[in-house]
Chain A
Amino acid sequence: MLEILTQSPHFYDYVTAAVLLLGVFNVAEVLFLLWNKARVERSELKRQDLKRLASTALITATDPAELLPKPADEEDFAAYSEAIASVLDSFEGEIAVKAVGLISDLGIDEHYRRLARHRVWYKRGNAIDILSSFRLKANKEFFLAVFRSETSLDVRYRIIYGLSLLTREHSDIRALARMLSGLPYLTAKYTEDIFYNIITALKAAGNEAEFGIFMREIMHDGAVLNLVKRDCITACYAASCEKGRGLLMEYYAAFPEEPEILMAAVKALARIGDFSVMPAAIRHPDWRVRLAALKYAHLCCMDMIPEIRALLRDPNYHVRLNAALALAKSGEKGRAALREEAAGADAFAASTAAYALGQEAA
């Protein structure tokens, strides 16, 4: 039986060693699990205590650093940074100033700056996330320096995210745009997040107009992806950028062949109450643009019922259905049109009209 193996002088020694090793490993794993359970439970309690203590000290004490024990391990740093970030999110003025002071008094920024150069990429990423959550202006130069030497794309995206929270002026936006275009396009959500952060930071600094200047600059810049331009527009939508009305109209006019940009522009304009592009949008050859326009058509004060009614015969199912829903929401005139269609000979139009009327009645 398996002579070549079993006749080898050390075969049984190796197998015995493997069995013993596995046995010891199994017992060690079980013991480790039990020890780890106890350790985690202890550290969770300690972490909660520290967070509570830090939050209370920041709100009540004049010099919180005097009251708080120095962080001794990773858990302590994590607890303090969470507490400080929460305070910074919720408070301004004196308490926020104390929280920022505490970051350096307890050596938290130093600790995470060290970790941001750790050899394991996800630890670096986590450190960048934590530093970002403090929104410290002083971290800007550090982020830029780390970005230059960073090799992991995941971490670089996180650094840009951190920098987007610190945007103050035009040069910051340009620098971020350059950094973004140096990396592969990630996702719409990520780019929108970045621009949303930029707009929010600029708004807070009273510099919202800077974003408009930036968008005008990139409008005809071939080096900037159309997807990025679209994400800028959707960020405007998310951040309710009211000053961008004219600019959004320009974008709508400048990209007649780009449905992604047109859809974003239609939505963003509708959000700020501008429906001037609606008549053109619901006649657009691309069904996605027609659909985007139909979602807001009922809010438009122009009489668009004939145009919407025509879309009940659209070749696209989604457009037909949303045209019916838009009519149902367009007051008595719209519902009358639906009733006529529901009794009409066109089966497609009749079924969608009946559905929309049923919805409205329910």
Chain B
Amino acid sequence: MKFFLLWAAVHVSQYVLFLYFLAINSVYTALILLALRDIVRHAYLTTSRVSRRQLASEFYFKPVSVIVPAHNEAAVITQSVQALLNLHYPEFEVIVVNDGSTDDTLERLRLDFSLLPCAKPVRLQVPHEAIRGVYRSSVYRHLIVVDKFNGGKADAINAGINVSAYPIFCSIDADSLLEPDALLKSSKLFLEDDELIATGGIIRILNGCMVRDGAVTEIGLPRGFLEAMQVLEYTRAFLSGRTGWNALKSLLIISGAFGVFRKDMVVAVNGYRKTVGEDMDLVMRLHRHCRDRAIPYKILFVPDPVCWTQAPYSLRMLLKQRNRWHRGMIDALLTNREMILNRKYGATSLIGISYFVFVEFLGPLIELFGYLSIPVLYYFGLLSTKFLVMLVLLAVFWGISINIGAVFLDIYNFRRYNRTSDILRLCVLSAAEFFGYRQIMLLERLKATLTFRKKDWGTQDRRVFEKKGTAV
């Protein structure tokens, strides 16, 4: 009886693994195909003359509050704020929220932007830690700095929302740089579609690029393997992943590094929740809020507004970041578990959330089971050499196709990486990912699954953006 059960378990697990492998790769392939259709169409229409003229027109716009949460960002804050003040936009304010920094972030801001105390009454619409003071720059009238007790990124953005004056807000990380027209391109969508409640642009890796006066002047693939590998991952995640989810109306993440939201909707869901995955959590709650109340809404990803961000350059920092992302995702799924496989939430639940549960959350467990069981099965003669070789080849070649597909979407449509050597390196990295990198990330995600209740963010080391024309 025991032998029979073991035999049955082995056979069932083989089928599960094989079907899972087929399903997951088919999903990625389908996403790439959907993204290709969407991106080509988008590129075609946004490059038309009329669209460009409309973008340049200053008659119609909605003023935007740009909120920058900053905790111990003294190394980059001045350049980052300078870049934001140079955005091409008719009416906006920049609100930097100093979230109880222990370094001299506030002092830097005070000196570099001539801050003066300001008695701005703050409307308490969403909860956050107490504000110590509000300052306004005497040089740049649209720069406000909020100094508050430490409460985390979500808490800092909530404080920014309360201080903000405009109906749309854009949250951006302090270590990121927005392209000058990024705000125009993303907020324009709010004018074109009354149902739009949130949108996000693409996040690209700043490492390897040249930065001058707070703007990216030359784009290049970073030299380091880890950093270059992240370029590939971001390209895949944004261009094939999010664009594909867009097409399926199931977008669940708008990156915390660059997202634009309708303030009334975010206030309606009580703002950001204190968690390590506050970006995904917010988007899920927005979906829930609108579906529960039958409010027509849209949450969209757009591939052309670009935000450049610094990627971790050491393995230790990278693992820490991935661990945090995975914990954030699990927390968001658990908090919004009512949405899992619930027909009331339509495609968002049945497609988007199911993907996160079965692929992103369970995926690492199933993949690990595969890595462990295949050698055992092979050792006991339950797996033929021919089958094993063919399976590995199929998995690797299919994976490479998905990666190169994402590179193709980027290079063909947006042509950011123009050097032949960069294109070839991205293609080589598409294959290299399967030999070590993927497995290390898998282990970290498993670690995060086991410790998902931890709430700490950890610290990230920053590099100064610009050193007179040198690459970051």
Contact = CB atoms under 8 A, between A and B. Distances in A.
Interface of A: 1-2, 5-6, 12, 15-16, 18-19, 22-23, 25-26, 29-30, 32-34, 36-37, 40, 81-82, 85, 122-123, 125-126, 129-130, 132-133, 158, 161, 186-190, 192-193, 196, 238, 317, 321, 351-352, 354-355, 358-359, 362
B427 interface: yes
The majority secondary structure among interface residues of chain B is helix
B60 A22 contact: no
14 contacts: A1-B377, A29-B405, A36-B411, A37-B415, A82-B49, A186-B192, A188-B60, A188-B191, A189-B191, A189-B192, A196-B59, A362-B116, A362-B136, A362-B138
Interface stretch (B265-273, B355-363, B395-403): B395-403
B437 interface: no
Contact of A358 (B50, B118, B407): B118
A37 B384 contact: no
A228 to B, nearest CB: 14
Interface string B105-125: 000000000001011110100
Given A29-B405, A362-B118, 13 more contacts: A19-B394, A26-B400, A33-B423, A37-B411, A37-B423, A122-B45, A187-B193, A188-B194, A190-B192, A192-B60, A193-B60, A359-B118, A362-B116
Contacts of A18: 394
Given A37-B423, A85-B49, A15 B390 contact: yes
A354 B120 CA distance: 8
| Residue among B53, B120, B123, B193 with max Cβ neighbours from chain A (10 Å) | B120
Given A22-B401, A187-B194, A317-B123, A15 B118 contact: no
Contacts of A351: 119, 121
B247 to A, nearest CB: 14
B420 A1 contact: no
B382 interface: yes
Contacts of B138: 362
B460 interface: no
Contacts of B394: 15, 18-19, 22
B384 A1 contact: yes
Contacts of A352: 121
Contacts of B405: 29
A19 B390 contact: yes
A2 B120 contact: no
A132 B54 CA distance: 13
Nearest to B196: A187
A1 B14 contact: yes
A126 B45 contact: yes
Given A26-B400, A188-B191, A355-B118, A129 B51 contact: yes
Contact of B420 (A5, A25, A37): A37
A127 to B, nearest CB: 9
Nearest to A29: B404
Nearest to A36: B412
Contacts of B415: 37, 40
A151 B116 CA distance: 58
A12 B14 contact: no
A352 B165 CA distance: 14
B191 A126 contact: no
Contacts of A40: 415
Contacts of B398: 22
Contacts of A22: 394, 397-398, 400-401
Contacts of B15: 2
A33 B411 contact: yes
B420 A34 contact: yes
A182 to B, nearest CB: 19
B121 A355 contact: yes
A16 B390 contact: yes
B59 A238 contact: yes
Nearest to B49: A133
Interface size range on B against A: 35 or more
B119 A129 contact: no
Nearest to A158: B50
Contacts of A122: 41, 44-45
A209 B382 CA distance: 87
Contacts of A123: 44
Nearest to B404: A29
Nearest to B382: A1
Given A18-B394, A36-B412, A187-B191, A30 B404 contact: yes
Nearest to B60: A189
A26 B400 CA distance: 7
A157 B258 CA distance: 31
Contacts of A1: 14, 377, 382-384, 387
Contact of B119 (A6, A33, A193, A354): A354
Nearest to B412: A36
Interchain residue pairs A-B with the least CB separation, the first 7 = A22-B397, A189-B191, A129-B50, A129-B48, A351-B121, A15-B390, A238-B59
B293 interface: no
> Which of B14, B377, B390 has most chain A Cβ within 10 Å?
B390
B48 A130 contact: yes
A168 to B, nearest CB: 20
A33 B428 CA distance: 13
B386 interface: yes
Contacts of A187: 191-194
A212 to B, nearest CB: 20
B369 interface: no
Nearest to B17: A2
A133 B53 CA distance: 10
Contacts of A33: 407-408, 411-412, 423, 427
Interface string B413-428: 0010010100110010
A126 B44 contact: yes
A129 B53 CA distance: 11
A355 B120 contact: yes
Given A126-B44, A187-B191, A26 B404 contact: yes
**Most B C-beta atoms less than 10 A away, residue of A33, A85, A126, A133:** A33
Contacts of A158: 50
A190 B390 CA distance: 56
Interface in B143-197: 191-194
Contacts of A189: 60, 191-192
B434 interface: no
Contacts of A354: 119
